[in-house]
A and B are shown apart, each in its own frame.
Chain A
């Protein structure tokens, strides 16, 4: 799926920090290639928080790992461009990527227990990250590590603790500290709070927002929980079956979702207030990514489908200023 005119950074001020154009990622398999990411384009400007929301199979985690080029075969990038500060990430050599990762773009993964080394202290893990990139003394690096722990809200004294000695929330903060170690301009966060209780989640989200204000980095925030994105994102992109189906400023998306999938997602959250009415969610199951539905991938589950939907791929179009959607309801010029 091709975006008309590549770039989706919306306003002229500020070059895009990260520019992703028509990215395609496949997983080779015995039954055919799984098209996990199929023509995705978006941009992140300095200091911007872009939220990427989608459910399982939407391709959101694949994008994150493709940007850092840490996917392993059977995953293959089969098309598109990823430009960071003007440099093409897809053309980088291993050596260049080593510098690129963590100095320019770092990542916070979902389960801290999976990304923290259980037999190394958190202090050492931060120090190791620093020393892998900078030629400074261990002492200096340790000093930086203490500062980082402070910034993320962990007591300095815990620098020699092992991950299992920390609570879930603390561990996630440690992971964030490691990601911040080299002050990257862009941080990718892939479901950073999913494994946490709701109260801790709130704290971590506040912490992230505060860090972002203080240090000014951009964030690509990936989650399946749209409600989280409200509070933190500037722009939100909704992904379905490997494609972005709608993208707009956070507030706009919530007040006026245009794509039926987005609308369906919104109606999947029971309210805490107001009358108790029955919700419908979205019927059906996520599609087969080896043989995705023809035309609009959402059409088998869409309550508003009509003539062109099962044969013509809807173009990703800016239907209102800064509001993009891929849906024939809003773009179809032919007869209805």
Chain B
């Protein structure tokens, strides 16, 4: 049943009335993201953290690995976030920790998305034998319980953020691949793919220039989700001691806080900054995901637009579920 919004079909471009609208992707994505408060907040936080990581040497007050004061001192003007159980400046640790935590998380997110895209699209597009093999591999990696595998791998391999990167990537790509494979399966049946084939396009071009652009939103959303997951998982692994404790990252801060019994002595400032940073970053990524949802799901966007348009007319829709009657044209 159609509640026809009379979209593209009736908005004929031949008269100058509609003008040439901005193309949907690219610049409009940017515009929409900026229009959207959630996205703006999320983007601001992400950029802020990135800057903190890049300019860590300038921002941090001390060398994060150096013993600079008495252990477990509360926040003061000298040590903004206090000192940890080894007498190191917590603020500097938090700032420098951004590099590994955020950086590794981002790298994992990008890698996982890249692998997922390639495997998913190839499996979905080629079908047949190739699909069987790729799906088998994907399913194997999906079924293997993630956390135990991560822990086992991290325990055997040399400690450090690189290991964590590999481990998280290897265990994290399968889900995205599965999702993209099913998207590809449905997009493959569309006539524009048929047209491309009949025009003589090569398979590679069809996969990456015809199908992928239509899956951009879900891939990008998946990527942000993967980064969120990676940042959290990395911190978790480091907290368990599977990272290299001599690295400076949020997770190792938490590890040391636990090891040095900071909780027992009531030194909340040793783990709050790290925890809060992780939470803030995850929050920011989720906000961006909301915005992407709106960009890709026209219905969500049109709901927002309707509310906005109605607000202009100073009308409010009642709570009735029936079609609202708001008289603009006079009674006769």
Contact = CB atoms under 8 A, between A and B. Distances in A.
B306 A28 contact: yes
Interface stretch (A9-17, A72-80, A117-125, A150-158): A72-80
A56 interface: yes
A29 B329 contact: no
Interface stretch (A57-65, A130-138, A206-214, A256-264): A57-65
Nearest to A38: B329
Contacts of B18: 288
Chain B interface helix/strand/loop/mixed:
loop
Contacts of B9: 56-57, 286
Contacts of B14: 284-285
B323 A66 contact: yes
Interface in B291-332: 302-303, 305-306, 308-310, 313, 317, 320-330, 332
B4 interface: yes
A166 interface: no
A170 interface: no
B191 interface: no
A36 B326 CA distance: 15
Given A29-B305, A285-B12, A21 B323 contact: no
Interface residues of B, number: 35
A61 B329 contact: no
A92 to B, nearest CB: 8
Interface string B1-23: 11111100111101101100000
B305 A76 contact: no
A74 B321 contact: no
Interface of A: 2, 6, 21-22, 24, 26-30, 33-34, 36, 39, 56-57, 61-62, 65-66, 69-81, 90-94, 97, 109-111, 114-115, 190, 284-291, 300
A287 B317 contact: no
Nearest to A111: B1
B6 A27 contact: yes
A286 B303 CA distance: 26
Interface centre among B5, B6, B303, B309 (most CB of A within 10 A): B6
Nearest to B328: A78
Interface string B97-139: 0000000000000000000000000000000000000000000
A78 B329 CA distance: 6
Contacts of A28: 305-306, 309-310, 313
Contact of A73 (B1, B15, B317, B329): B317
A289 B3 CA distance: 15
28 contacts: A27-B6, A28-B309, A30-B309, A34-B5, A36-B6, A39-B329, A56-B4, A56-B10, A69-B323, A70-B322, A72-B3, A74-B306, A75-B3, A76-B323, A76-B325, A77-B324, A77-B326, A78-B327, A78-B329, A79-B328, A81-B332, A92-B322, A94-B320, A115-B1, A287-B10, A288-B10, A288-B12, A290-B11
A157 B34 CA distance: 60
